[in-house]
């Protein structure tokens, strides 16, 4: 009987605590946050569904390649010859279970213009070096790809150092440079879609996208998934955004050649996060960042991503290298 009385006393005290002004405020705040998240995800779903319906409508009208471009006439050889040169820079570190498949999707693009792929590693001792060497050998007759050894960074994060070395080694005629992380899967038409948007609006400073995490089933992978989901709403506008994800950034190559707006110097001199630094530059100079509806990338999460690994190194390494 005394146990029940103690439980009743506890429940009574807990009820009173939940009705206090502070508790009510916290509950209201939680409800508002959940409502905002729900509205954001609903809007994100609307934007993506609108794009899917557009593709389906174009396919019904005879454009079987609607997943690549809006106008099928853009695929004619005469139009493909006019496409600008693009350099794709992929800073690498380590070799995970999904990396090889991800790299294959990144280099097997259906972009019809001249394109080169630069895999940048810090040294030949990096496990990614030998894996990429084998991959390039398999595709050597089909693509223009090479490995660049950047060396160790002394003034910024290793990822930024690799990116800048890649930019230094890009083709002299490249009009755009595309930075890609090694942990995303690319759609065959992604590079073409990003380039088309840049050509359509020269005022775009950076084009970005966002990963769609695919949890492997472990607790750690779901933690990363939950970490990314609220952030994804900022990229669901299908147009102008203030958010930037370092895993996919297409920019004007001349901005790096000429250090326009200090993009090179700000990244090189103490740069820790590539996307935060470039987003700050865009904000300071009132430059345009866009996220097209098609820039969503499958991002399979590692099966060995344990909860302890996420806490001790997962999120910190995400913030540091990615």
Residue-wise pLDDT for 216-266, tens only, equals 777 777 777 777 776 666 666 667 787 788 888 999 999 999 999 999 999
Q: What is the rounded end-to-end Cα distance, in angstroms, of the chain?
A: 58
The CATH class of 63-321 is: alpha beta
Q: Nearest to residue 160, comparing CAs of 205, 183, 168? A: 168
- Distance CA(83)–CA(86), nearest Å, equals 9
pLDDT at 111 over 80: yes
Q: What is the mean pLDDT of residues 16-30?
A: 81
pLDDT at 116 over 70: yes
What are the structural domain ranges in the chain? Answer: 2-58, 63-321
Quick one: tokens of 18? 């939940």
Q: Mean pLDDT highest for which of 60-69, 133-142, 225-234? A: 133-142
Q: What is the mean pLDDT of residues 147-151?
A: 93
Q: What is the mean pLDDT of residues 302-319?
A: 56
pLDDT at 319 over 50: no
Give the confidence band of 199 by pLDDT, cuts at 50, 70, 90.
very high
Instruction: Compute CA 155 distance to the chain's CA centroid, rounded to the nearest angstrom.
Output: 24
Task: Out of 40-44, 61-65, 146-150, 308-312, pick the least confident.
Answer: 308-312
Q: What is the mean pLDDT of residues 166-193?
A: 89
DSSP code for 61: T
pLDDT at 195: 92
As a 3-state breakdown, the chain gives helix, strand, coil percent values, each rounded to 5, of: 50, 15, 35
What SS3 class is residue 196? helix
Question: How high is the mean pLDDT of the chain?
Answer: 82
- The H-assigned helical ranges of the chain are 2-18, 21-60, 77-80, 99-107, 127-138, 158-168, 190-200, 219-232, 253-257, 263-268, 274-284, 307-309, 315-321
- Distance CA(204)–CA(216), nearest Å, equals 36
Strand order in the sheet with 248-252: 145-149, 115-121, 86-91, 176-180, 248-252, 204-208, 288-290
- Distance CA(204)–CA(56), nearest Å, equals 28
Q: Provide the whole-model pTM.
A: 0.78
Quick one: tokens of 253? 């190559």
Answer for the pair 273, 188: CB distance below 8 angstroms, yes or no: no
Greater confidence, 89 or 303? Answer: 89
Answer for the pair 194, 309: CB distance below 8 angstroms, yes or no: no
- Distance CA(223)–CA(241), nearest Å, equals 25
Greater confidence, 66 or 214? Answer: 214
């Amino acid at each position: 009987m005394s146990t029940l009385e103690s439980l009743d006393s506890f429940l009574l005290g807990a009820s009173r605590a939940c009705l206090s002004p502070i508790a009510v405020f916290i509950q209201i705040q939680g409800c508002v946050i959940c409502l905002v998240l729900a509205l954001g995800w609903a809007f994100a779903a609307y934007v993506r569904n609108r794009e899917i319906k557009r593709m389906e409508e174009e396919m019904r009208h005879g454009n079987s390649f609607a997943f690549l471009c809006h106008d099928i006439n853009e695929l004619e050889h005469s139009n493909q010859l006019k496409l600008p040169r693009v350099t794709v820079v992929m800073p690498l570190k380590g070799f995970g279970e999904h990396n090889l498949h991800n790299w294959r999707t990144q280099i097997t693009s259906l972009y019809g213009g001249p394109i080169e792929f630069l895999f940048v590693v810090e040294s030949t001792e990096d496990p990614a070096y030998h894996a990429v060497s084998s991959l390039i050998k398999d595709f050597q007759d089909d693509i223009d790809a090479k490995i660049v050894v950047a060396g160790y960074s002394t003034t910024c994060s290793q990822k930024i150092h690799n990116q800048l070395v890649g930019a230094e080694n890009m083709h002299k005629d490249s009009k755009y440079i595309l930075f890609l992380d090694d942990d995303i899967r690319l759609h065959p038409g992604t590079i073409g879609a990003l380039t088309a948007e840049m050509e359509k609006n020269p005022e775009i400073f950076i084009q970005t996208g966002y990963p769609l995490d695919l949890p492997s089933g472990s607790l750690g992978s779901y933690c990363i998934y939950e970490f990314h989901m609220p952030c994804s709403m900022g990229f669901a506008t299908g147009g102008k955004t203030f958010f930037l994800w370092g895993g996919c950034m297409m920019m004007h190559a001349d901005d790096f050649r000429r250090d326009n707006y200090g993009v090179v110097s700000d990244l090189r001199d103490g740069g820790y996060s590539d996307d935060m630094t470039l987003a700050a530059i865009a904000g300071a100079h009132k430059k345009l960042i866009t996220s097209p509806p098609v820039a969503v990338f499958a991002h399979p999460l590692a099966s060995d991503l344990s909860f302890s690994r996420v806490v001790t190194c997962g999120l910190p390494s995400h913030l540091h290298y990615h």
